[in-house]
Structure 1
Amino acid sequence: MSAEPLEAPARPARTMRVPDTLLILLVLAVAAWAATYVFVPGHFAMTGDPARIVAGSFTSAGQAQPAPLFGDAQRTGLLDLLFAGLVSGDRDSAAVGLLAFILVVGGVFGVILKTGAVEAAIAAALPDGRVKNETLVIILFVLFSLAGAVFGMGEEAIAVSLILIPALVRAGYDSLTGLIVCYVATQIGFATSWMNPFSVIVAQSIAGVPPMSGMGLRVLAWILFTLIGAVWLWRHARMVRLDPARSPVFDTDQHWRSAPLAAAAHGFRWPHATILAVLGLGIIWVAWGVSARGYYLGEIAAQFVGIGMVIGVVARVARLPGISGNSLMEAFRDGAVALAPAVLVIAAAKGIVLVMGGDDPAADSLLNSLLAGLAGVTGALPDWLTAWGMYLVQSLINQFIVSGSGQASVTMPLMAPLADLSGVSRQTAILAFQLGDGLTNLVVPTSAALMGCLAAARVDFVAWLRFFWRPMAALMALSSVFVIAAHAIGYT
């Protein structure tokens, strides 16, 4: 009797993982360092106030200028690029000033979220039974879009979706309705924001454009995109409410129909209303400071600290559950730490630029040589096609660098001067970045916020793509029209 051969154990299926953003930047850093040994840098002539590149003025340095392995005060090397990126500039620069701004504002929003005012407001607005119209979900959609526009709400939507999605399913909708309200709304607001500190202000600071400038067109974009999104939400939510079986996720939503409804333990009370009122008034204060007083990164950060302090005092005096002086400071640290990855990404991207010779158009650098080459290509294209191409490039890059601040730090040092050379305004280039970065977060599997919200809703990624590809195509078409129209009107 012969023994049957043993079967080899099955190997676990290999899943493809997209490289981490810092790993991508590390590869780019090595490539940039190697390029300094091969390619010749150059510089441009500058004119005007503020200074702009003179088209056709590129001058080659004549020979390569290799970057060292270890840098010094005169030249950044490969191994010290991260340190150089962290300490480059001053309080108003797109390096150390911007990094400090992001950490401070992130800490303040950590305090705001710690108070539970947002969750309490949502729980108070949720119905106890089935709804009779779509008024509630439309209001929530607009509020979440506003949250994305004002303070860049993204990953926070994961926690909110854990409360909101089960409640909406129990109220007669489906988990897709909850995803539209929680996540789609925030990303529409994020992409069309006029004051998002982690996206548009970062890009404007790097591009040398005043913070919150060009507000009028962006506010119009926010209103239009939010209105279109709300109409689409109304159609879907109404269809599901009238006939739940028509929902693409009707079967999987059975889990939520049988689950208990989550709600805030202590309800929505006066401290929560006061905190939200302080936040709203604080945002108006920030907008006034920027538009009327010319406040920049340091002053805006100080305003947010003041807002956070008042909110902390309200929460402490009202003795909200879980709130103490120590817990508020811990929430501030956690909020700042949550943005530490974005800080490192920005620093690494800045370090790469420094390895290439810096981003001063009047000084020899490989970035200027690359700009000159791209300008030669775009010079053969119509201006509007260049503006639209910037939008498509930003959409593609967001597949790999999903951090808004990180993508701005990587792309804007190149896109801003390229806009000058191509006859496109820098404000239009920033708008192309915003729309390309923010809206593609709705479909890219590398977005932690998207995948977290899908997991919270128990919706498969493929099922989400089947449901959302048509709206996504419509959003991209509308974005293209907006970018081309911005160029046509000379958006500044």
Structure 2
Amino acid sequence: MSTNKTQEKKKFEFPHGFVILFSFIVLVAILTYFIPAGEYERTTTEDGREVVVDGTYQTVESNPAGFFDIFQSIHIGMVDAAGIIFFIFIVGGAFGILRATNTLEGAFGSLSKRLAGKELLMIPAIMLFFAIAGGTFGMAEEAIPFVLILVPLAIMMGFDSITGTAIVIVGVYVGFGSAFMNPFTVGVAQGIAGLPTFSGMGVRFIFWFIFVAVSIIYVMMYARKIKKDPTKSIMYKEDLQRKIDPEVMNQQSLTKRQAVILGVLVLTIIGLALGVILQGWYITEIAALFLVMGVVVGIIGKLKVNQIAEAFVKGCEELVTGALIVGFAYAILTILQDSNTIDTILYGVSSVVSGLPSSFSAIGMLLTQSMLNVIVPSGSGQAALSMPIMVPLSDLLGVDRQTAVLAFQYGDGITNMIAPTAAVLLAGLAIAKISWIKWVKWIWPLILIQHIIAIIYVTIAHLFIW
């Protein structure tokens, strides 16, 4: 009997987000020895915003980052980003309490029972739910467990696993990416840009509605095709081999207690909108609102004090990576600022695109954010990394800061549905047992359509709105 053990070839493993960002920190630190130091003069506008003064760039004494500065920058970045990091933790903890009551599962179960016999109508109803959740309180990771329910349910209704996965992933991500009041993307980006929280909500809502409608139609057209001829599914052979538990069709219904909890969630979202519009709330007030919601929901759900605390911690745990990525992104910013090279980069980029029409500059911002999202898939992390550069760049190019935020959120959101680094996507595909290659083959036309729509919206916003 041979003692030699056969070794399997290891599959390529995409680097962790922290590995990628730390590599960026090191790379940026090295570049500070080659990028000339320089700075712009800045002035404060009548509405209190600090803006770059065009034509004032000048070189200053070089101050490249040292070896120890690389490691110090991470702690400094974490401290500088503390407000955003703990905001993410508190909101995540509050929704951890909500999830512990199984209210969302109950609401979904009631909806699926009401639509029995009207299978195709299930798609817009449930996708709209996820899109609203993504567009208001930034649901993302919380949607993953629903893939376990939707995939077998879709197959039993005559669709396929792609349809079941798309209802969740496309639904939540199209809402998240085109959001009108997502605190993790719009809220953070507007805060960095010095804009009132959730300002421009009306315009964003119209754009969100069209984005969601187009995505729902795309999924429904595919589902109808599979309903007529299941062999056209790219997952046909795999789905035939699945063992479906019939109990999936018997999901729990919404109890009276859970209905009250759902009402509290709705009131929280309404309160959030009124607070930011009428009182100018920012992340501190929003975090407090969600914390109150979590406690109230826990009490209504008859959770014990320790159960509420444990659910809160669990909710925080699910967002640890996303929250800490913000700190790593701020570390990169710290290196650039301390070495006086951030304005030099800004000067170089603005010099390249200054001859282009400003509408093309806005589109360039969108496409840049789309590529950056593959590397930094965290919405708030990407905002922390890119907005400090995009905001002054938009000032120099004559692009309104609201348009810059719009370009950021579309660039961040659309590629979430295809990026091999997007945690929610990869987790959902793993649960559904769908390969990333097959998913890309199915979704790339929708990604293309959404990018075209995003380019049109950013152009309209720049030329006619902002």
Q: Is the 8 A contact 1:174 1:250 kept in 2?
A: yes
Q: Is the 8 A contact 2:110 2:252 kept in 1?
A: no
Superposition map of 1:62-77 within 5 A: 63-70=61-68, 77=69
Helix, strand or coil: the match of 1:199?
Answer: helix
Q: Distance in 2 between matches of 1:228 and 1:147?
A: 17
Aligned amino acid, residue 312 of structure 2: F
Q: Is 1:451 aligned to 2:443, yes or no?
A: no
Match of 2:326 among 346, 367, 378: 346
Q: Distance in 1 between matches of 2:167 and 2:276?
A: 30
Helix, strand or coil: the match of 2:238?
Answer: coil
Q: Is 1:29 aligned to 2:15, yes or no?
A: no
Helix, strand or coil: the match of 1:52?
Answer: strand
Deviations 1:404-456 (A, max 9, x none): 11111111111111111111111111111111111111111221211211122
Distance 1:36 1:451, change over 3 A: closer
Deviations 1:318-366 (A, max 9, x none): xxxxx432122111011112222222211122122222225xxxxx821
Report the alpha carbon displacement of residue 181 of structure 1 after superposing the two structures with TM: 1.0
Q: Is the 8 A contact 1:18 1:400 kept in 2?
A: no
Match of 1:356 among 324, 328, 336: 336
Query: What residue in structure 1 maps to residue 112 of structure 2?
Result: 126
Superposition map of 1:145-294 within 5 A: 145-256=131-242, 258-262=244-248, 267-294=253-280
Query: What residue in structure 2 maps to residue 91 of structure 1?
Result: none
Q: Is the 8 A contact 1:357 1:367 kept in 2?
A: yes
Superposition map of 1:430-469 within 5 A: 430-469=405-444
Q: Is the 8 A contact 2:62 2:340 kept in 1?
A: no
Q: Is the 8 A contact 2:96 2:314 kept in 1?
A: yes
Q: Is the 8 A contact 1:199 1:404 kept in 2?
A: yes
Report the alpha carbon displacement of residue 79 of structure 1 after superposing the two structures with TM: 2.1
Distance 1:224 1:128, change over 3 A: closer
Query: What residue in structure 2 maps to residue 83 of structure 1?
Result: 75
Q: Is 1:39 aligned to 2:17, yes or no?
A: no
Report the alpha carbon displacement of residue 266 of structure 1 after superposing the two structures with TM: 5.3
Helix, strand or coil: the match of 1:262?
Answer: helix
Distance 1:429 1:129, change over 3 A: closer
Report the alpha carbon displacement of residue 388 of structure 1 after superposing the two structures with TM: 0.8
Query: What residue in structure 2 maps to residue 327 of structure 1?
Result: 307
Deviations 1:120-147 (A, max 9, x none): 1112222499734522221111111111
Superposition map of 1:81-120 within 5 A: 81-88=73-80, 95-120=81-106
Report the alpha carbon displacement of residue 156 of structure 1 after superposing the two structures with TM: 2.1
Report the alpha carbon displacement of residue 23 of structure 1 after superposing the two structures with TM: 1.4
Q: Is the 8 A contact 1:133 1:238 kept in 2?
A: no
Moved more, 245-254 or 306-315: 245-254
Q: Distance in 1 between matches of 2:10 and 2:118?
A: 47
Distance 1:455 1:33, change over 3 A: closer
Q: Is 1:483 aligned to 2:458, yes or no?
A: yes
Aligned amino acid, residue 351 of structure 1: A
Q: Distance in 1 between matches of 2:120 and 2:406?
A: 32
Deviations 1:156-204 (A, max 9, x none): 2220110122112112222122122111011100111111122111111
Q: Distance in 2 between matches of 1:224 and 1:311?
A: 32
Larger radius of gyration: 1
Query: What residue in structure 1 maps to residue 300 of structure 2?
Result: 314
Q: Is the 8 A contact 1:145 1:190 kept in 2?
A: yes
Deviations 1:198-245 (A, max 9, x none): 211111112222210111221011100111112222222222233333
What's the % identity of the aligned pairs? 34
Distance 1:248 1:29, change over 3 A: closer
Report the alpha carbon displacement of residue 392 of structure 1 after superposing the two structures with TM: 0.9
Distance 1:419 1:9, change over 3 A: same
Deviations 1:282-303 (A, max 9, x none): 1100110110011111111111
Moved more, 234-243 or 266-275: 234-243
Report the alpha carbon displacement of residue 482 of structure 1 after superposing the two structures with TM: 1.3
Q: Distance in 1 between matches of 2:203 and 2:114?
A: 40
Q: Is the 8 A contact 2:150 2:165 kept in 1?
A: no
TM-score, normalising length: structure 1: 0.89
Distance 1:250 1:388, change over 3 A: same
Query: What residue in structure 2 maps to residue 394 of structure 1?
Result: 369
Helix, strand or coil: the match of 2:231?
Answer: helix
Moved more, 397-406 or 254-263: 254-263
Moved more, 348-357 or 217-226: 348-357
Q: Distance in 1 between matches of 2:456 and 2:27?
A: 35
Aligned amino acid, residue 326 of structure 1: N
Deviations 1:466-491 (A, max 9, x none): 22222221111111111122211242
Aligned amino acid, residue 54 of structure 1: V
Query: What residue in structure 2 maps to residue 3 of structure 1?
Result: none
Query: What residue in structure 1 maps to residue 59 of structure 2?
Result: 60
Q: Distance in 2 between matches of 1:53 and 1:265?
A: 56
Gap runs ≥5 in structure 1:
1-5, 71-76, 89-94, 317-322, 359-363
Match of 1:143 among 95, 104, 129: 129
Match of 2:357 among 352, 358, 382: 382
Moved more, 254-263 or 459-468: 254-263
Q: Is the 8 A contact 2:137 2:269 kept in 1?
A: no
Q: Distance in 1 between matches of 2:173 and 2:342?
A: 31
Report the alpha carbon displacement of residue 264 of structure 1 after superposing the two structures with TM: 6.9
Q: Is the 8 A contact 2:109 2:252 kept in 1?
A: no
Report the alpha carbon displacement of residue 391 of structure 1 after superposing the two structures with TM: 1.0
Q: Distance in 2 between matches of 1:28 and 1:405?
A: 17
Q: Distance in 1 between matches of 2:105 and 2:207?
A: 28
Report the alpha carbon displacement of residue 69 of structure 1 after superposing the two structures with TM: 4.5
Moved more, 418-427 or 255-264: 255-264
Q: Is 1:417 aligned to 2:417, yes or no?
A: no
How many residues matched? 462
Gap runs ≥5 in structure 2:
none
